[in-house]
Amino acid sequence: MGSESYRSPRISSELPDCSMPLTFDSYSYCSLGCMYCFAYFFKSNKPNISNELKSVNVKRLINAMQGKPKSAREQLFYKHFYSRKFLLHWGGLADPFCAFEKQNWIGYDLIKFLAEYNYPTLFSFKGNTIFNKRYTKLFDKYSYQRNFAFQVSIITADKKLARDIEMGVPSPNRRIKAMHMLSDMGYWTILRLRPFIIGLTDLSLDELLERSLAAGIKGISLEFFALDARTNIGMKTRYNWIAKLIGAHSLEKYFSKLSPSERGGYMRLNRTIKEPYVKHIYQFCIENDLVFGCSDPDFKELNTSGSCCAMSYKHPDNPLLENWSHSHITYYLK
């Protein structure tokens, strides 16, 4: 890895509509190869971003979180977030438990600190390193605090389809096992059904919902795949592969024809196409007393919480998990 440390946490670019804008990654890149990866699309259109793998300076970050910041930036983060134990969202642009963590162990000491410090943290992940005994022992040891919550990303229950679109990612079965393990420890767990890809996700949707429910989830966070019109060669290759999997001749034409033009170059399918899937998942949540969170611009009015990540308003086992922003669009729309 590079000698220069990766600067994180950061404030999400989706601040106006995000309940957890304090977003964090321990590494600058992810070892997983998801063809729909938002982080890849985001970074590949920014030539100033280095291709070198970097990691955070854990010791310096811990000092800042304890009230010993060294820079003006760290002072601001301490004043507005760390001192208030504002919920940290770990896994915005990289996976906290991917192969890089298995090799480098950058995140372990930070998680240990967050556990000892009782700092509220939501992990979004797919990676296999969470099954390492050092991690399972750590999460089990501090499970009584309930200061951690977990979003497990799964977009299909079909093992073959998952392998075709998520290269190097543990199987859906493995991720459901992780969900089960964390739920059994008493943690708040969420099915992160993002991105929902019509023509792929819907083929095994009911199986995925039922198996996630059996694994102990407390909520579902939903968002549909969107297509960035600023296509480069790498993105075009990925778009062609997704088109092949869902049976579309051209993904760009498919989205251009079925997305409202007034929303600009970041194309999202229209409300009518998404409606039956959204309402099916919403009804499933209502029937099973799950939090429904939708981060898509359509159907936000169906959210049962002000958090599109499907965090609850009330966490009686540890109220610190309620420390997410109420000053954003989704909350007020709800």
Residues 109-132 have pLDDT tens digits of 999 999 999 999 999 999 999 999
- Is residue 288 within 8 A of residue 213, CB to CB? The reply is yes
- The confidence score (pLDDT) of residue 1 equals 64
pLDDT category of residue 5 using cuts at 50, 70 and 90: confident
Mean pLDDT of 221-249: 94
pLDDT per residue as tens digits for the range 148-179 = 999 999 999 999 999 999 999 999 999 999 99
Question: 43-62 b/e with 16+ CB inside 10 Å = b?
Answer: bbeeeeeeeebbbbbbeebb
Residue 177 has phi, psi (to 5 degrees) of -65, -40
40-43, long-range: CB < 8 A, 24+ apart: 40/234, 40/235, 40/238, 41/228, 41/235, 42/93, 43/93
Residue with tokens 């099973």: 288
DSSP 123: E
Q: Which domains does the chain have, with CATH numbers?
A: 10-226+268-333 (3.20.20.70)
Query: Of all residues in the chain, what percent carry a pLDDT higher than 70?
Result: 98
Query: What residues are paired with 151 via a beta bridge?
Result: 124, 190
d(CA 2, CA 23): 22
The residue written with tokens 């938002």 in the block is: 38
Q: How far apart are CA 187 and CA 156, in angstroms?
A: 23
| pLDDT of res. 96 | 98
Mean pLDDT of the residues in the chain: 95
pTM for the model: 0.96
> Per-residue pLDDT for 2 more than 70?
no
Q: How far apart are CA 260 and CA 76, in angstroms?
A: 39
pLDDT in tens, 237-262: 999 999 999 999 999 999 999 999 98
What pLDDT is recorded for position 13?
87
Q: What number of other Cβ atoms are within 10 A of residue 93's Cβ?
A: 20
Average pLDDT over residues 199-214: 98
